[in-house]
Amino acid sequence: MKGDDYLHGRHFWTHFWIGLVIGGILGVRISWGFFDNRLAFIGCSAAMALIFALAVGYWGDPLWRRILDWWSWW
């Protein structure tokens, strides 16, 4: 695509939506044991999903590589 700006192009949104799904799963997993209140549970999960999606959307492939390297270390 000619003149494809990363933040406004396909790449950002692809990474964003995949990060939103993965971040949501991680948010549910992490906040599951912390909160008894449903509203706090949903809020924490949604916040974590959004933060993860924005980070992955902004940094893209290098962040995915770091995440996979970190995951394989465990």
According to the model, what pLDDT value does residue 9 have? 60
Confidence of residue 25 (pLDDT cuts 50, 70, 90): very high
What element of type H or E holds 24? helix 10-31
Burial class (CB in 10 A: 0-12, 13-18, 19+), 15: buried
Confidence of residue 7 (pLDDT cuts 50, 70, 90): low
CA distance 49 to 31: 11
Domain ranges within the chain, ordered by starting residue = 11-67
Residue 73 to residues 6, 69, 70, Cα–Cα distance (Å): 30, 6, 5
Q: Report yes or no on whether pTM surpasses 0.85.
A: no
Residue 46, pLDDT above cutoff 90:
yes
